[in-house]
Structures are given as C-alpha cells and as structure tokens.
Amino acid sequence: MKNITQSSIIEVLISLTLIYALLSIFVSLLIEWWNSKRRTRQTMLQNAINQLLKDSLNLDYGALFYNHHMIAGLKNPESNRLPQYISSSMFAEAFVDVMAAQAIHTQKIRLSETNDKGKQYELEGDSPPENVIDRFQVAVKAMNTSPLKDALQSFIDKSMVKDVDGKKVLDYPTLKKNLEIWYNDYMERVGGWYKAKLKRKQYVFGFLVALLLNVDSLHLVKVISMDDSLRNSLVATAEKVADNYQKTADSLKSDNGVLLKVISSGIDSIKLKENLKDPIIKTKLAKLDSNFITKKAKMVLINDSISAKTISQTDSLLGIAASLNIPIGWSTKTAPLSWSWKKKLMGCGCNVKCTHKKGPGLQAYLDYRNHCTTWWNLFWYILGISISGVALSFGAPFWFDMMIKLVNIRRSGAKPQPSKDKE
C-alpha cells in the first residue's frame, strides 16, 4: 500500500468534505420535504401563537386569530396549508381586530315584547364604540382578570399619549409597535425551538441518507486514499466549489438549489449533462402507472410544488454524485449485498472461506471487502455507516466551511505531485 503523505491526508479530507457537503444537501432536502409534508413550520407557528394567546380564564384568542380574514386569507386554498410566516405588523393588526371584535359580543339586549312576530328584543346599555381602537380597549376591560389581560393592559398603558386637549388617548401606532416588539421577541424564542427540533431531525435523516445511499465513511476514506485519480478529481472539484461558495452571498447559502449549483459548477459540464439526461426518480415515478392506487399515490406525491422541487433537486444531486464517481450506492456486486450471509449462517456456517486475501492495492481491498463475509467486515461497515450518519447531521454549511478551510490549508502548502495514473 502506498504511503500516505501529509498532503494526501488533506486531499482525502477535502474529498470527504465535498462528499459530505453534497450529501448533507440531500439530508436538508429530505428534511425540507418532510417538514413540508408534516406541515412542521406551519403547525409550530400555529401552536406558538395559540400558546401565546391562550387564556384559560377567557378565550383561546389564538384560535380566533387564525379565523381572522387577514390570516385565514394566507392559507393556500389548494393544499389548505396554513402560513409558514406571519409578519409582526400583520400579527399586531389582526390581533387588535380580534380583540376588538369581542367588544361587539358584549352588546346587551333585552326582551321588550312577544307578539305574533315572535319575541321582540331591543338593544340595552351602551353600544360598542365604532372605532376599532376604542373597541380594543373595551374588550380588554371586559376580560376576566388573567395574565394575558394584565399584559394587554400594560401595552395599553404604555401606548397612551396626550391629545391636543391634554387628554390621554390610546395611540394606535405606539400600541402596534409594542405588540410587534412582543411578537418579535417571542418569535425569536420560537425560532430557537424550531432549530432544536431541526437538529434532532438532522440526526435521524443523516442516518437515513447514509443507509439509503450506502455511504460507508471508512470505505470512502480507503478508496479515496488509494485511488489517486478519484482523489485528484474530487480535490479539483472541491477547489472550484470552495471558490464559488465563497463568492456566494451569505443569504443564499442556506438555499439547497443554490448549493447544488455551486457544486455542479465545479464538475465537468459534459459529464454532468450526461448523468442528468435520465433522472432516476422522475423516470421511476413515470413508471408508476400500473394501477389505481400507485397512480393516486403518485399524484399525491408530486402534485405539490415542494415535492416536485425535492424530486427535481434529488435527481440533480444524484447526477452530481454519479459525475463525481463517488463509491456509494447499492449494488449486488458491492458490500453489503455481495456478502453471502445466508450461506454463512444457514448452510455451511463458518466454512465459507474467503478466497481473497488482504493485500496492497485498491483492487485487493475491494475484492476483500466485497466478497469476504466476515464479522469484522460487518463491524467496519456498521461503523462506517454510523460515522456517515453523524457527519451528515452536521449540515451542509458546516461541511462547506470545513472544505474552504482545508482547501486554504492545502493551497498554502506545497503543490501536490501529479498522480502516477496520469503520468
């Protein structure tokens, strides 16, 4: 086996970070799709607003808030999805309206007479004010004493200004601003809860992707370190990708589509085009026309923009992975599907002998790994998958940043020797 130099180690690490960055995009694509299907963002926002405005001594104002025309109007009429985001300005305006509407419900009536046209009622006492701001005050005053009432009364008190006659009146812009600050502060906390929830999902989906694409990190390290041609190609791509990533605006660095473009910009365009010609998922879905159920399932799966986008971006991602010749994916000729556990466990047990010997060189390693059904191979495989799972949960931005650092380290050192294969 060839001696691994310091430079080679950096090159292997750069190659690995490129692969992790690419596959982390896949993880985040899947999480985005899952969140969209599970309506995670919408539900979390709704739950957060319900919690903020829930008042067990009065009403669930959050539920009334979502009935407000401005908020209900944000719902997607086709998918029935709630809004993922509500601006602080919209929150304040809708909330004031919701509270003000409760004042209308306090209008007293009394029975005046009963005649052949039924019971006749008449209005009694003061009518609710016509002005929405005044109604807001009346509604808060009419609430049972509760922590929410105290908070709202405090906002009212802090939003009082003197009018031209020196009389204290509620100033709507100040009230709105106070409500906006309250909402924004709360949403900052909610953002934190969302990120914590996302982190847990990243672990789960990281492992799922590692299994789904058969990403064995230990195998990757071995192959990359032994295959100079693959390593050089990955490093060259990583350098271009690192340069392009640095040029990308920070605001776009969390956009999966942009990140995929950044990676594909580092790949030979002809090769990439060839691999994108026949998108895997779209082709497989197109074949799902055999019966009613699968047809329906297909419609449900692709008939929304998020699913369509996920499928399209996954196809691009798989095309990129194919262009990079990364040793991942499932095949009956490679481990673990190439292993004969059935023979080992059911038939002749441990008598199945491996004819391949451990030895130097890529081919000897591959033969031993793919064709020797041993407990050690299984152990290393499980460890490799687990490492990949953990690595992929760090997220694409982490791996892009790591890649840039490693590329910079490599650039600051001596130029690597050209590979023997190329010679």
Instruction: Write out the residues near another protein by the rule CB under 8 A.
Output: 37-39, 47, 50-51, 54, 56, 58-60, 63-64, 67, 72, 75, 79-80, 101-102, 104-111, 114, 117-123, 293, 296, 300
Helices (H), 54-131: 61-67, 69-72, 88-104
User: From the CB of 77, what's the least distance to another protein, in Å?
Assistant: 10
Smallest gap from residue 144 Cβ to another protein (A): 10
* Contacting residues for 275 by C-beta, under 8 A, at least 6 apart: 319, 320, 322, 323
Name beta bridge partners: 118.
115
H/E element holding 162?
strand 160-162
Nearest to 23 by CA among 198, 205, 225, 279: 205
Residue 68 or residue 356: which is nearer to another protein going by CB? 68
Q: CB of 105: closest distance to another protein in angstroms?
A: 5
Cα(332)–Cα(317) distance, integer angstroms: 23
> Toward another protein, which CB reaches closer, 67 or 154?
67
Q: How far is the CB of 178 from another protein (least distance, A)?
A: 24
Q: Which is nearer to another protein, 75 or 309 (CB)?
A: 75
Least distance in angstroms from the C-beta of 176 to another protein: 23
Closer Cβ to another protein, 67 or 363, answer by number: 67
CB nearer another protein, residue 37 or residue 405:
37
CA torsion through residues 37, 41, 47, 49, sign? negative
Q: Which lies closer to another protein via its Cβ, residue 75 or residue 344?
A: 75
For the chain, percent helix, then strand, then coil, each to nearest 5?
65, 5, 30
Quote the CA–CA distance of 5 and 90 in Å, as a whole number.
60
111 forms beta bridges with 121
- Looking at 73-171, list the stretches that DSSP marks H as alpha helix, in order from N- to C-terminal side: 88-104, 132-142, 147-158
Which among 222, 218, 235 has a CA at the least distance from the CA of 382? 218
* In the complex, least distance from residue 108 CB atom to another protein, rounded to whole angstroms: 6
Minimum distance from residue 48 beta carbon to another protein (Å): 11
Cβ distance to another protein smaller for residue 304 or 401: 304
